[in-house]
A and B are shown apart, each in its own frame.
Chain A
């Protein structure tokens, strides 16, 4: 580096000024030579010179030069040693310096890996010309330019592709840079989709100030990476809110993974990133089965489990935060327990509000944490049949604590008992466990996986007011009907308790509704609230048949509907004037309007409501009592006489008839 350049680097303002004046002077033809003078010789394609053994062409394409960025400059502006010299000049010329004009870039270059290598005399070190060319320099925006974004990977790749001398002979930490890049989301964007805003080599490494990542000034230094990535991904905090809580990104970098921990350099993929190199570092120790903590706890991590888990592609350091990559044992700075909530923030919030989470907050030893259900390194997704959280295995999982006699069941004070067995025998349990229908409702479908609360809590999914919605997740059609029915709190505003799904169907012993057991019991359920009307129903033929245990007769819901029960006054009701005949006709095809006048809840005990029935009944009863009184008395009076009569006959005494008596006389 010459003194002028050093000075220029220090005072770029002056340099620009000097350059401008210089240009103006040139334009006014004060120069010793015109470019045409140079081209007199250099337009000859056969003009060559020998350097050592190699022959170098000295041909300069005039047209190419004229259309280049420097086309308007005179040759001697770069080849300064020829200024004012006689032509033809000496074959040995000074090296062209770009610095006088491009001082800033020159200065950066001097500091960077390329510049330093060059200064060391490294033959493989690139200089300005290596990238920008000589007489054919074009601006970066020109697609023909070697430094056009689209061509940058090729340009850098000349040296940094696998197998190139630089890659082979120099210490470059990354391998397969070009291949990886071209397959990465950036490479794909640039090379396949032609997005020139997509990151190329220089976007991250810069064009002239290429520094090793260990240099704190480097754009790829750990502390700067976020900033570098953020030049394009400016809203990335929003995307990574769960990880960085919005602001930790820059404030608490030391506990957070850097972009490249997850999105490896050159391999940044749209799909989630491969396990980082750091994992291999961790596993070097932790894959040994015997590894134990000072307290004797096994610290062994099964790579097999890890590989099959949901977190197979998650770096160790993402969960075990606080690692310091610069240390030999990066994990020695890990002090916190794994906080699943740093990624699973919403789930964690649900958990904290749940009974499980509240117990955990109270340091209750029975409280289940994430690990109890999901495990640690073998955490599999709920769609993995081998996962503890796979639907068919959930009842067993919850049963670990909620089975009768286990720790959760022992604490429980409510009415639901033996829930695991009951569930197993229920329609849902059979569907799930016997028929293997994984879409069947199991524990977490109703109670929530992370937000389970006791049914008394208004926020609980199984709270009376929410049950319909919870069931409606699967039985949506029913929910729609129910919401319009008289039993829905949306329709009926009352202080009395309205029946929720579970009132009739139960919670854990839900049965098929097309079997007689359920159909008969449901009437008792209706009768719990509608006592009088249920009693009178049992006085009628329908009621009597169902009481005998047969379902092939009209039951409450056959006439009133099951989920769409409406007051009879509602025109939509199955029993409204317009619909009642059709309802009867479901069973009695010949039913007419008059037929529908049958009193389905008639009782002969209510003289107010049903006077005719009342009096007919008492008329009949009077007849019955009268007949029995007369008949009974007759019989009772007869009995002693008859005994006497029999005795007489037995004793052989001919009981005398009147006539005989008469004859005797």
Chain B
């Protein structure tokens, strides 16, 4: 049996088998981490913005709502610790993943599902632009698209930049034992502007890329449920689908969908996060454009 025959047979089998089945895209830990990320990120953004946009009336109201600037500051720090926890957990998970599934770092980062940008990503990017301009068909996106990889590494960048400056602002007395006092001023600017970039980006570009783009509208629940309807998977990540089918591992990845009540709960949470995100975008636009001084 040739490779193509095996593949087509697999496709047929899958179509019989996979009626109503969903493809597992994210592990339970990753989903939990993403939820924690949302919670901590939203908390950080909201509490941080009360300070950054303190000159707007909303900031004062919100700060009061959060129990005052000290309480807001406490929430901010707790959320920061959670986010760093999320980050560290993820790193540990990567180590575990390497040991379990790849054996060596090299195998992991050079494998087909690597998170690192590859030549193929560049190609996909160029092809995407072509597609956008109507010069080509939709590219065959794989497991991780280039914009997903960008978002993934943005977190690394953000944690490093915002986290380090955040610690300086949290413990200025300690850090000024090492660096001059004006470093704190610099840290403030970096922390604040990088945070603005992060929130702005997440709540617009990331939201669009993953939730709001028409074929996903109003939201993509895959990151919460971890499962993607097989049909959707097939269209959205054709390259991965193909690869999985080719390896005959599709069934391994298929599960029954969650009961509606779980979906409903997830939807409620996701909507809240989305709404909060939009609120913050509106606030940022208002604060940066209409109330800026």
The residues of A with any CB-CB pair to B shorter than 8 Å are 538, 540-541, 543-545, 547-550, 552-553, 588-592, 594-599, 602, 604, 610, 612-613, 616-617, 620-621, 623-624, 627-628, 631-632, 634-635, 637-643, 645-646, 649, 655-659, 661
Q: Does B193 contact A (CB under 8 A)?
A: yes
Whether B132 lies near A632 (C-beta < 8 A) is: no
How many angstroms from the CA of A628 to the CA of B202 in the assembled complex? Answer: 11
Do A595 and B213 touch across chains, with their CB atoms under 8 A apart? Answer: no
Residue of B whose beta carbon sits closest to that of A657: B238
Q: Is the CB of A596 within 8 A of B181?
A: yes
Q: Which 5 A-B pairs have the closest CB atoms?
A: A597-B181, A590-B173, A620-B193, A637-B132, A631-B205
The answer, among B60, B180, B205, B215, for a CB contact under 8 Å with A649, is B215
Of B25-33, B92-100, B133-141, the stretch lying at the interface with chain A is: B133-141
Given contact pairs A588-B173, A624-B197, A642-B215, a sample of 16 additional A-B residue pairs in the complex whose CB atoms are under 8 Å apart = A544-B54, A547-B59, A548-B63, A596-B181, A599-B182, A610-B185, A613-B182, A613-B189, A624-B200, A635-B204, A635-B208, A635-B209, A641-B131, A645-B138, A646-B217, A658-B238
Point out the residues of chain B lying under 8 angstroms from A627, CB to CB.
Answer: 197, 201
Q: Is B112 an interface residue (CB 8 A)?
A: no
Q: In the complex, which residues of chain B have a beta carbon less than 8 angstroms from the beta carbon of A602?
A: 182, 185
- Between A and B, 18 residue pairs with Cβ closer than 8 Å are A544-B51, A544-B54, A548-B59, A550-B70, A588-B173, A595-B173, A596-B181, A597-B180, A598-B172, A599-B185, A610-B185, A628-B201, A628-B204, A631-B201, A638-B209, A641-B132, A646-B214, A659-B242
Give every chain A residue within 8 A of B189 (Cβ-Cβ): 604, 613, 616-617, 620
Distance A612 CA – B50 CA, assembled complex (angstroms): 25
List chain B residues, Cβ under 8 A from A604.
189
CA distance A621 to B55 in the complex (A): 20
Question: What residues on A are CB-neighbors of B107 within 8 Å?
Answer: none
Give bound CA distance, A596 to B132, whole Å: 54
Pick from A547, A549, A613, A637: contact of B186, CB below 8 A. A613
Q: How far is the CA of A250 from the CA of B4 in the complex (A)?
A: 143
Q: Bound complex: CA of A430 vs CA of B181, how far in Å? A: 45
For A659, what are the chain B residues with a Cβ–Cβ distance below 8 Å? 140, 238, 242
Task: Contact check, B54 vs A548: say whether CB atoms are below 8 A apart.
Answer: yes
**B213 in complex: contacting residue of A545, A613, A638, A649, CB < 8 Å:** A638
Residues of A within 8 A of B208 (CB): 635, 638-639
Give chain A residues whose Cβ lies under 8 Å from the Cβ of B118: none
A662 to chain B, nearest CB (A): 10
Residue contact A632 to B205, C-beta cutoff 8 Å:
yes
Q: Please give, as numbers and ranges, the residues of chain B lying within 8 Å of A596 by CB-CB distance.
A: 181
CB distance from A622 to the nearest CB of B (A): 10
CB contacts (< 8 Å) of A613 on chain B: these are 182, 185-186, 189
A624 to B177, CA, bound (A): 31
Question: Given the complex of chains A and B, what is the CA–CA distance between A613 and B193 in angstroms?
Answer: 12
Compute the total of residue contacts between A and B using a CB distance below 8 Å. Answer: 158
Q: List, in ascending order, chain A residues with CB within 8 A of B169's CB.
A: 541
In the assembled complex, which residues on chain B have CB atoms less than 8 Å from the CB atom of A598?
172, 176, 181-182, 184-185
In the complex, A613 Cα to B201 Cα: how many Å? 24
Given that A548-B51, A592-B176, A621-B193 are contacting pairs, would A639 and B186 also be in contact in the complex, using a CB cutoff of 8 Å? no
Q: What residues of A have a CB within 8 angstroms of the CB of B132 in the complex? A: 634, 637-638, 640-641
Residues of B close to A548: CB separation below 8 A: 50-51, 54, 59-60, 63, 69
Whether A597 lies near B193 (C-beta < 8 A) is no
Give the chain A neighbours of B51 by CB distance below 8 A. Answer: 541, 544-545, 548
Given contacts A541-B188, A550-B68, contact A594 B181 (CB under 8 A): yes
B177 touching A592, Cβ below 8 Å: yes
Contact A645 B177, beta carbon cutoff 8 Å = no
**A contact residues around B52 at 8 Å (CB):** 544
- A412 shortest CB reach to chain B, Å: 35
Residues of A contacting B174 with CB < 8 Å? 590
Verify if B129 is at the interface (C-beta below 8 Å from A).
yes
Complexed CA–CA distance, A548 and B190 (Å) = 21
B residues 231-285 touching A (CB-CB < 8 Å): 235, 238, 242
* Bound-state Cα–Cα, A637 to B188, Å: 35
Q: Is residue B196 contacting chain A, with contact meaning CB distance below 8 A?
A: yes
Cα distance A627–B198 when bound, in Å?
10
CA distance A194 to B194 in the complex (A): 99
User: Chain B contacts of A635 at CB under 8 A?
Assistant: 204-205, 208-209
Asked whether A657 and B140 contact (CB < 8 A) given A627-B197, A631-B201, the answer is yes
Q: Which residue of A lies closest to B150 (CB)?
A: A631
Distance, CA A640 to CA B189, complexed state (A): 37
In the assembled complex, how far is the CB of residue B258 from the closest CB belonging to chain A, in whole angstroms?
23
